[in-house]
Structure 1
Amino acid sequence: MCSPVLNEKRRFRDQPFDAQPCHGATVADLDLSWYKENYLPAAVAAEVLDDNGRTLEEQLASTRMILSPDDPTPTHLGVLALANQPTDFLPGAYVQFLKLDGPTLADDVLDEAGFTGRMVDVIRGVEDKLNSHNRTMVEFRSRATERRTQLYPQAAIQQLFRNAVMHRTYEHDHTPVRVTWYSDRMEIISPGGPVGMVTRESFGQPGFTGYRNPNLAGFLKEVGFAQRFGAGIAIARRECERNGNPPPEFDAQDKVICATLKPATTRETGA
C-alpha cells in the first residue's frame, strides 16, 4: 500500500505544472493587494464575492494561487500571476526585448529591455515597448481618402506574444521569452515545443490545440489578456491579412517555438 506522502506526491505530479506547488515560495511573496483589488473583481461576480464569506486563503485556493487553505504554499500559477519577483523561483519567468539595426544579431542594438514581475505587468510593459516602435504608414488613395497601415498589426503581435508567455515551459528552464525586432522581421521565441495533441507538423493548424499551462491560460482570459481558447494564431493570421502583412511563420521544434512576423508594405512605397 502506498503511503499518504507518496500518494500526495503522485497527486501533484498528475497536475499540470502551473497547479503544482512552488517550493520555497510563501504567501508573503504574493501581491495580495493586487489580487483582491484587481484579480478577484475580474474573475468573480460582485454578488458572489459579497455573499460567499470565504476567507482570503479559501479564495486563493479556489483560484489555484495556493494549494489549499490548510497548506498555503503558492502554486506556480500563484507565483507567475502575483509575485513581484517570480524569477526568484522560476528563473525563466521574464521577457527579453531587443531591437536591431539590421537583419542579424550581429547588427547594432537600437533598444533593449528586460521585463519581469506580475504576469499582467510584464505583458503590458512589453506591449507598450512594441507599440512605441511600431510605425504607422499612410497611403493616400485619393485627395479624400487615405489608408493607414501599421508596420506590424497590433492585434497580431498581441496574440503571438501572449501565446508565447502563456504556453511556454517554465519548468527547469532559465530561458526567457525573446522578442527580437530586426530590420526585416520580428521574431518571438518561446521555450518549450508543442504540447498535448499538437505536434511539430500540426502546429498552427485549425483544430489542434494544447495547453501546457491551462490555469495560467484561464487566468489571462479572466483578466482580459486572452479571448477564446485556441484562437490566437487564427486571429494573428486574419489581422496580418487585413493589414497587408504576409502570414505569420512558425518554426516548431521539440524544445522551442519561433513565430515570425514580416512587415507590411504599401502600394506607393513598396516598403
Structure 2
Amino acid sequence: MPTLDIKPLLVTETDRIEWKESAREDKILQAVCALANDLGDTRRPGYLLVGVDKNGRIKGIAATGTGIDEEQRTLSDRLRSIKILPTPTFDLDALEVEGKLLFAITVHPAPVLPVAVDSVVWVRSGTTTVRARDADLQRLRDRQSAQNRTFDSRVVASATLDDLNIAELQREYDAEKEIDDEQDSFPPLENWLMQRQLVERINGTWRPNHTAILTYGRSPQTFLPGAYVDFIRYTGTDVDAEIASRKTATGTLSDQLDVLWAQLEANNSSTPGPSAGLQAPFVNDYPPQALKELARNLVQHRAYEGTNAPSRVEWYDDRVEFSNPGAPFGRASEGSFGEHSDYRNPTITATLAALGYVEAAGRGIRRVRLALKRAGYPDLDVTTNGFTRITLRRKP
C-alpha cells in the first residue's frame, strides 16, 4: 500500500478533509460518519487528521511506546463500534510529522447509506460537520437504490405514523430536546424521527420503515407475521419428547427480549456447586449472560425479509438450541462463527443499542465462547443451512 501523502491534507479543511486535535473527542465518530456519507457524491476518500487543531497547527497525540499502539487500537475499536452504523470502511495510520505523532483516518464513501452515529446522520457542509437536514437525508437515500437498501431501512408502504407508539416516541423526543444545546432549532417530531432513520415522507405522507414497525410498532406482527420468537421447553433430549411449556414472544423486539429473557431465567435451574467451607454456592445450568447474549442475537441478526418463519428457542434436558431464519451475513460468514461481525440489520441494531438492549460491539459470540471455555462448558455447536442454529450444551 502506498504511503499516505500528508502534506496536501494539512493545507486547509474541505468537505473531504477535517482536523481534530484529540483522539478522544466524541465528535470523531461524527466526522467519520460525515466523510463516509460523502454528501457531495465525490466518490473519493475523505481524510480525518487527529492531532491537528482547527488552525492547522500540529499538536500531536500524547502517546509513546506501547501507548501509541493502545491509542490506535482504542480509536479503531471506537470506529467499529455499534455507535456508528453501517460500519464505515476506513484505514487508520499512525504518522510522524515534525517530530509529533498524528493519526490519519482515510474514510471511504459508504456503499450503504446513510451512515449514522447513535441513529443520527451527519454530513459535511463546506468545512463543517453538521447534523443532516431532511433534504440531505433525501439526497443520500436517492443515491441508494431500493434493492441496495437494507430491509430494515425500507419503508412499509401500507403503514403510517398511527401504526407506531407515538406516546413512547414523544417521551424520547422530549427528553432528547431537553438536553440539546440548541433547543430553538431542534427539529419537529416527524423530522426527528426521520433523522433517527425511522420514517420517510412519501408523497406527502410520513411512512415508518421496518425498523420503526419492529421497535415502536403497535402491532409489528400485522406487517411481519413471522417476526416473533417461539420458546419451547421439552421434558427429554429430542423433539419427540413431551412439551413441558411453551411461550410465544410477540410485540416489539424489546417486548420479545423481555419475555424471552424471563423464560430463559425461569428455566435455568440452579444446583449446589462445590462446597466452599460451610457454604455450598448454587450454580446455574448455563451461564445466564451466555443465554442472554444468544437471545439478543436472535432478534438482532435474523432475516426478516422473505420468510414467515419465527426465531425459535428449544430447551432440552441436555442442551438449548437457538435457531434463526438466515445464514450469517456478510463478513460474519467468514472464518469461525463469531470471529467477524457484520450487520444484516444495521438500523435495527442502532435502535436496539439506543434502547439499551444491545451492549457489545460485534464481540457477543466471542464473549460467549470465552465464558463457556472458562467455566468448563463445551464450545458452541453452529450449523447453517439457510437457518442458523446455535446449540449450547450442559457441562459433561
Q: TM-score, normalised by structure 2?
A: 0.60
> Does structure 1 conserve the Cα–Cα contact (< 8 Å) formed by 2:200 and 2:209?
yes
Matches of 2:173 and 2:329, distance apart in 1: 28
CA distance in 2, matches of 1:153, 1:233: 13
More relative contact order, 1 or 2 (CA 8 Å, 6+ apart): 1
2:228 counterpart of 1:97: no
Whole-Å separation in 2 of the counterparts to 1:150 and 1:85: 35
Larger Rg: 2
Question: Which position in structure 2 is the counterpart of 1:66?
Answer: 199
Q: Could you tell me how far apart the structure 2 residues matched to 1:203 and 1:40 are?
A: 44
State the Cα deviation string for residues 203-261 of structure 1 (Å, max 9, x = none): 4242x1121100111111111111232111012113323444222221122x1100111
Residue 348 of structure 2 is matched in structure 1 by 216
Is the aligned partner of 1:197 residue 2:331? yes
Contact persistence 1:96–1:177 (CA under 8 A): yes
Supply the distance in 2 between the matched residues of 1:180 and 1:215 (Cα, whole angstroms). Answer: 28
Aligned residue for 2:231, secondary structure, equals strand
Query: Which of 140-149 and 190-199 deviates more?
Result: 140-149
Matches within 5 A, 1:115-154: 115-154=249-288
Q: Does the 8 A contact of 2:338 with 2:363 survive in 1?
A: no
Provide the secondary structure at the position in 2 that maps to 1:106. Answer: coil
Structure whose residues are more often strand by fraction: 2
**8 A contact 1:136–1:151 mirrored in 2:** yes
Match of 1:4 in 2: none
Determine whether 1:163 maps to 2:297: yes
Question: Would the aligned equivalents of 2:341 and 2:362 in 1 still touch at CA under 8 Å?
Answer: yes
User: 1:8 Cα deviation (Å)?
Assistant: 5.4
Instruction: Give the Cα separation in 1 of the matches to 2:274 and 2:207.
Output: 59
In structure 1, the partner of 2:51 is none
Tell me the C-alpha RMSD between the 2 structures: 2.3
Equivalent residues of 1:135, 1:151 under 8 A apart: yes
Deviates more, 1:172-181 or 1:240-249: 240-249
Task: Give the CA deviation at 1:14.
Answer: 2.2
What is the rounded CA distance, in whole Å, between the counterparts of 1:49 and 1:191 in structure 2?
Answer: 43
Q: Distance in 1 between matches of 2:177 and 2:257?
A: 24
Letter in 2 for 1:214: P
Distance in 1 (CA, whole Å) between partners of 2:190 and 2:252 is 19
Matched with 1:79 is: 213
- The alignment status of 1:113 with 2:244, answered yes or no, reads no
CA 1:27/1:262 → structure 2, altered by over 3 Å: closer, same or farther? same
Q: Which residue of 1 aligns with 2:45?
A: none
Amino acid at match of 2:346: P
The aligned amino acid for 1:216 is I
CA distance in structure 2 between the partners assigned to 1:45 and 1:145 by the alignment: 52
The answer on whether the counterparts of 1:57 and 1:68 sit within 8 Å (CA) in structure 2 is no
Give the Cα separation in 2 of the matches to 1:154 and 1:179: 15
Question: CA offset at residue 33 of structure 1?
Answer: 1.3
Identity %: 26
Cα displacement string for residues 114-154 of structure 1 (whole angstroms, at most 9, x for unaligned residues): 11111111100111111111111222424334343211111
Q: Which ranges in structure 2 are unaligned for 5 or more consecutive residues?
A: 1-140
Query: Residue 247 of structure 1 aligns to which amino acid in structure 2?
Result: D
Out of 238, 252, 262, which is 2:393 matched to? 262
- Matched to 2:308, the amino acid is H
Would you say the 8 A contact 1:20–1:76 is kept in 2?
Answer: yes
State how far apart, in whole Å, the 2-side matches of 1:28 and 1:204 are. 40
C-alpha spacing 1:45/1:196, structure 2 compared with 1 (3 Å): farther
The amino acid of 2:151's aligned partner reads F
Does the CA contact (< 8 Å) of 1:13 and 1:20 recur in 2?
Answer: no
Q: Give the aligned residue type for 2:351.
A: F
What letter matches 1:158 in structure 2?
K
Structure 2 CA distance, aligned partners of 1:116 and 1:80? 10
User: Equivalents in 2 of 1:151, 1:119: separation in Å?
Assistant: 26
Counterpart position of 2:150? 16
Aligned to 2:28: none
Distance 1:101-1:82 versus aligned 2 partners, 3 A rule: same
- In the superposition, relative to structure 1, how do residues 28 and 49 fare at CA in structure 2: closer, same or farther (>3 Å)? farther
Shift in CA distance, 174/144, structure 1 to aligned 2, threshold 3 Å: same
Instruction: Give the partner amino acid of 2:389.
Output: C
Question: How many residues in Structure 1 have an aligned counterpart in Structure 2?
Answer: 254
